[in-house]
Structure 1
Amino acid sequence: MFLALRELKYAKLRYFLIGFIMVLIAWLVLFVSGLAKGLASDNASSIQKMDTDYLVIQKEADHRLVRSILSEDKLKVIQDYTNNESAAPLGIQMTTFTQKGSSKKIDATFFAVDMKGFLAPDVIDGRMINNKTTNEIVADSSLKEDGLKLGDYIKEQFSGKTFEIVGFSKGESFSHTPVIHINFKEWGEIHKLSANKQLFFNAIALKTSQDAAEQIDKNVAGVDLIDKSEALKSIPGYSEEQGSLIMMIVFLFIIAAFVLAVFFYVMTIQKINQFGVLKAIGATTGYIARNIVFQVLLLTFISLVISIVLTYGVAAILPSSMPFDLTPKLVLGSSGLFLAVSVIGSLISLYKVTKIDAIEAIGSAAQ
């Protein structure tokens, strides 16, 4: 690696410019990756965090949670195949509300769940509600950005009901709207159901074995069984949004591979005479190839470190409303892929090195 380090020291400007371009490409890849994950969380974090294995929905709903309608009778049938605690109903309703004393309308999504079940949210501020609570809700903490706080009252537009915010959860969103958790008592009130009428749900979450789930799917009429990944894809705009961003990331990696391949190929051609001299004095092709790969890996590693620092620095000054989520796992995955792309991009240069003839290269240098 002595040769690689000496060359980096000798041609500082050349390698600085290459490293600068690599920093920009890696920075863009990391930023778009964080944006893609952030948008995915903002669109469906409530489903992603849900502690469930499967979701049962209406067969005619085309795998869309908001289109599904299941009755209490259907819930009882499904519970016969599982323990009562392993099947939990879920009600979902997109809504709009106004804060008391304000005319500003805010979009949100009601999630009706059993407050003693496994779908109940984790409260980070305030207190939890129970299944008998009246006119109280647990809201996502992102609503604090709209000026809402504990003890504030909101008025739901469609039912006209007023609720008090008694607790805040974190990272609960659905279709780019904050989730508000309510109990089924309030769910019935919102839908103006009398005591003798059945409740209706959008889905039934299951925490059960695959065999039990398959029995439900096979024997219960009028239902479909889906997993969380299928439920995520059914959220309006989720697949299209993620597909566009992932395509951008893929093209960025492809562009990076071509750019790096061209850079190192041109540099290798410029150094053919020097490589010929090295071969003439005993340097093997393997030795030269190892130095080229070491150069590529060193440049890529330094560029990635700078890019990661820049990305986290920009993320720190982004507004909290910006859906950006760059986890260490995502950074490691993207960095590893970028390293691989860089090495692949240098393979053309290695091929050129294997074809260098020492006598021919020295003869060209003498001319």
Structure 2
Amino acid sequence: MFLALRELKYAKLRYFLIALIMILIGWLVLFVSGLANGLASDNASAIKTMNTDYLIVQEESDNRLNRSLLLEEKFHDIRQYLDETAATPLGVQMATLTKKESSKKIDATFFAIDVNSMLSPGLVEGKMINNTTTNEVVVDQSFKDNDVKIGDYVTDQASGKDFKIVGFTKGQSYSHTPVVHINFKEWASINKKVSSQGPSSRNKPFNAIALTANHDKAQQIEKEVSGISVISKDKALEGIPGYQQEQGSLLMMIVFLFIIAAVVLAVFFYVMTIQKINQFGVLKAIGAKSSQLARNIIFQVLALSTLSLVISVALTYSVSAILPASMPFDLDPQLALICSMLFLAVSVVGSLLSLYRVIKIDAMEAIGRAA
């Protein structure tokens, strides 16, 4: 420890430059991680926060809700294996809305739900609709970015129907669009496939069925009921167009950044170790053990990495505070901690080459070079 601190104090500029590079790499890792998490939430938060264990979709729909089509009779077949509240239908439809007396278009996704079911979202403002409400919806609070407030009317361009906004939800987005929750009464008025069935039809279509059940029950339903697939929420997320590709690209960037960090640290400390072979040889000759010298290097690596991480985290959260609300950035403390621990682990791995070189130093040979 003493030797490591003395060396850090003696070669301030050298270690400052190493720390600066580590700060920049750590900052970039944290920022990209926050961006990846933010994009994932913006793309699929409505599914992630959904109070359900599984989703039932049409067989061979590639786990995509918008490709799935189930009929009401299929829902009744599934309900035979469950409690009354353990399953509920879900309708999904992409839409383009316009604020009343405005030409500005807002891309959104309608989620048709039974308001009394487990899919009912929490509100942050306003009131909740009910299953008999007419011309009323609750929307994600990102609608406020388009100057929409409670009491305003929006028009669905496909059906021409007007809806009054009566409440705001939080964290409800699907495929990078805010979710508009409606009841199935209004779903029938905007969905041509539903309205064409007639008011008394038992074959009204929807896209999926939310299911609360254990794994064995889910497998039983998939086996006993034909034409369906029971998928986890993770599988449903993968079915959202572009979700896997988006997250895969960002994950690859993060992995390469960790690899770059390990390589940079390995090169810096290895070069510095080569430069100090004579000094290490002298220390070994006077009784210093290889383990003591190794601890010296590890302490320097961890000290620089920890300091760099503290600064990187501070910079990341400072920048996130001034980012525009439209930028999907979300770096929660748990994610920051995971990235920090990985960064420390990568730093230690990067120093292993230097540790190996120190262990292999021959004291007499090193002293002979110095002479």
TM bin, normalised by shorter chain, reads: over 0.9
Corresponding residue to 2:207 among 183, 202, 222: 202
- For the pair 1:51 / 2:56, whether they are aligned, the reply is no
Q: Determine the C-alpha separation between the residues in 2 that align with 1:326 and 1:199.
A: 42
Superposition pairs of residues 310-329 of structure 1, within 5 angstroms: 310-329=315-334
Give SS of 2:199's match: coil
Task: Deviation per CA, 1:301-333: give whole Å up to 9, x if none.
Answer: 000000000000010000011000001111111
Identity of aligned residues (%): 66
Q: Determine the C-alpha separation between the residues in 2 that align with 1:61 and 1:210.
A: 21
TM-score (norm 2): 0.98
**Counterpart for residue 125 of structure 1:** 125
**Counterpart for residue 220 of structure 2:** 215
Superposition pairs of residues 256-275 of structure 1, within 5 angstroms: 256-275=261-280
Give SS of 2:119's match: coil
Q: Determine the C-alpha separation between the residues in 1 that align with 2:216 and 2:369.
A: 73
Q: How far apart are 1:85 and its partner, in Å? A: 0.3
**Counterpart for residue 355 of structure 1:** 360
Q: Determine the C-alpha separation between the residues in 2 that align with 1:225 and 1:316.
A: 41
Corresponding residue to 1:306 among 308, 311, 319: 311
> Alpha carbon RMSD of aligned pairs, Å?
0.8
Superposition pairs of residues 276-295 of structure 1, within 5 angstroms: 276-295=281-300
**Counterpart for residue 35 of structure 2:** 35
**Counterpart for residue 181 of structure 2:** 181
Task: Deviation per CA, 1:282-313: give whole Å up to 9, x if none.
Answer: 11100000010000000000000000000000
Corresponding residue to 2:342 among 327, 332, 337: 337
Q: How far apart are 1:199 and its partner, in Å? A: 2.4
**Counterpart for residue 238 of structure 2:** 233
Superposition pairs of residues 12-31 of structure 1, within 5 angstroms: 12-31=12-31
Q: How far apart are 1:54 and its partner, in Å? A: 0.7
Q: Determine the C-alpha separation between the residues in 1 that align with 2:123 and 2:343.
A: 39
Q: Determine the C-alpha separation between the residues in 1 that align with 2:105 and 2:30.
A: 35
**Counterpart for residue 7 of structure 1:** 7
Q: Determine the C-alpha separation between the residues in 2 that align with 1:109 and 1:191.
A: 13
Q: How far apart are 1:360 and its partner, in Å? A: 1.4
Q: Determine the C-alpha separation between the residues in 1 that align with 2:191 and 2:93.
A: 10
Q: Determine the C-alpha separation between the residues in 2 that align with 1:138 and 1:184.
A: 14
Q: Determine the C-alpha separation between the residues in 2 that align with 1:65 and 1:359.
A: 72
Give SS of 1:130's match: coil
- Residue type of the alignment partner of 2:211: L
**Which segments of 5 or more consecutive residues in structure 2 lack a partner in the other structure?**
none
- Residue type of the alignment partner of 1:254: I
**Counterpart for residue 150 of structure 1:** 150
Q: Determine the C-alpha separation between the residues in 1 that align with 2:12 and 2:62.
A: 59
Q: How far apart are 1:271 and its partner, in Å? A: 0.7
**Counterpart for residue 251 of structure 2:** 246
Task: Deviation per CA, 1:162-194: give whole Å up to 9, x if none.
Answer: 000000000000000000000001001112513
Give SS of 2:210's match: strand
Superposition pairs of residues 63-102 of structure 1, within 5 angstroms: 63-102=63-102
Task: Deviation per CA, 1:56-77: give whole Å up to 9, x if none.
Answer: 1111312111011111101111
- Residue type of the alignment partner of 2:167: G
- Residue type of the alignment partner of 1:332: L
Off by >2 Å, runs of 4+ in structure 1:
none
- Residue type of the alignment partner of 1:57: V
Q: How far apart are 1:195 and its partner, in Å? A: 1.2
Q: Determine the C-alpha separation between the residues in 2 that align with 1:106 and 1:286.
A: 64
- Residue type of the alignment partner of 1:340: A
Q: How far apart are 1:212 and its partner, in Å? A: 1.4
Instruction: Please identify, of 164-173 and 199-208, the stretch whose mean Cα deviation from structure 2 is larger.
Output: 199-208
Task: Deviation per CA, 1:228-249: give whole Å up to 9, x if none.
Answer: 0100000000000000000000
Q: Determine the C-alpha separation between the residues in 1 that align with 2:349 and 2:220.
A: 48
